[in-house]
Amino acid sequence: MAKGALDPKDWDSFKQEAHRMLEASLDKMQAAEEGRVWTPMPEAMKSDLKTAVPQQGRSPADVRAALEQMLPYGVGNTHPRFWGWVHGTGTAGGILAEMASAAVNANLGGRDHGGIYVEKAVLDWCKEMMGFPAEASGLLVSGTSMATIIAVKTARDKRLGIATRQRGTGATKLVGYCSAQAHSCVGRAFDMVGLGTDAVRKIPVDDDFRMDMAALAQAIATDRANGFEPFFVAGTAGAVNVGSIDDLAAIADLSAAQDLWFHVDGAFGASACLSAAQAPLLEGMARADSLAFDFHKWLHVSYDAGCILIRDADAHLAAFSERPDYLAPATRGLAAGDFWPVDYGPELSRGYRALKVWAHLQEHGTEALGAAIARNCAQAQMLAGLVDDAATLERLAPVVLNIVCFRYLPAMGADADGLNAEIAVRLQESGVAVVSTTLLHGKLALRVNITNHRTRDSDLSLLVDAVLQTGRQIDGEAS
């Protein structure tokens, strides 16, 4: 029995508290469809958290009770009417994987241990799911933001040469491209690898919010004529505003012709490849030089879990491999092993996130995950129909995947943007639903993102009724 300085003094008593915490956590998941969507943390609890750093410890029973008290005050994304942002809902099975991961407490930076083989297995599955070749490389990361940094750095180093790692980028005039609807992580990656956000050209979109290919070709030609060096283009598979998907096949063709690194931001949309109905929308994605996507969004793995796949494994390794003496490779013992994740990304210390991804895929399989995605897309079409049928609602964008953007039309002369912003806040504060807002063509829209395996069709009808009722109420207050 472990008797270290920080081990429980009474293991039996500690196990009882652990079982109570597990029961409470499972009870929360079992009741995920009940009650409010979002519950703000009470002011008294916020104040209680503002204490000096603890000098003396508390009993496991006290800590367990404090943890239980915090369970109701999350974002709300486990609830079926959470549609505000692209968050996955998690699953009850994820609790079990997190328990096992905590018990092992492995550093997935490297060495020859079980976790490394789990991550390799998961990466092989990722390549198979996304249509990448078996010889491609990859890494599990915190999310698409980190994945994009890894992709941009690999592309930069391949273009400028590996000596860039020592001497810096110098006076390079590298530039890259993405659509005006692309996620901000592309610009942040350019910033963090020393190229600067000004090096990202944001290309206009067409009426379907897809990158305008003629405008992209023209921007590349203009940059070359002005002495810049185009090297990178990011296609979006599921824009966060409206769910649009760029013409990935056309971008792949242009990238090949123009010698550009073709990256796909598939944070949530790439997962649609698991649905037979949606997979054709992603034609061309498998031709990418790099692909970033998340497990914690539409695949519902507990936060956080993302992935980067890179077609050129040698370029990926060259961009990051540089072990200090104390991490020198060995042929035998714990320091052996032919895959050390530290050679493929910036983190030396890495959590065992591979285990929860592995367990999630084992429990549910890609067929069930794909079916849940297809159902969400069908629900988005259903919601679009309800919006279109309501005289005082206006849809502001096509529905391609799972996002519906619309607004309430107020009485003549009223501030439509302000009224719809107030509708979103009142829905959140009432606990009825969580939606977010966005700007489309200068108009503020209510944005409903359905990446939720618990959403019921009746929830969407309830939402439309609530929007209409709240809009009429605000209209009446203003008159």
- What is the per-residue pLDDT across 153-172, written as a single tens digit (0 to 9) for each? 999 999 999 888 988 888 88
For helices 92-104 and 353-389, the axis angle rounded to 10 degrees is 160
What is the predicted pLDDT for the residue at 205? Answer: 96
Q: Between the CA of residue 109 and those of 83, 126, 353, what are the distances in Å?
A: 35, 19, 12
What is the predicted pLDDT for the residue at 261? Answer: 98
- CB contact set of 448 (below 8 Å; sequence gap of 6+): 83, 380, 383, 403, 404, 405, 406, 435, 463
Per 3-state DSSP, the chain is made up of helix, strand and coil in percentages (nearest 5) of: 45, 15, 40
Instruction: Identify residue 422 by its one-letter amino acid code.
Output: E
CA distance 399 to 381: 7
CB atoms < 10 A from the CB of 135, how many?
10
What is the predicted pLDDT for the residue at 413? Answer: 73
What is the predicted pLDDT for the residue at 337? Answer: 83
User: Which tens digit of pLDDT belongs to each residue from 92-142?
Assistant: 999 999 999 999 999 999 999 999 999 999 999 999 999 999 999 999 999
Ranges of the chain with pLDDT below 50: none
Answering whether pTM is above 0.75, one says yes
User: Which tens digit of pLDDT belongs to each residue from 234-291?
Assistant: 999 999 999 999 999 999 999 999 999 999 999 999 999 999 999 999 999 999 999 9
Asked if residues 182 and 239 have their Cβ atoms less than 8 Å apart, the reply is yes
CA distance 285 to 132: 9
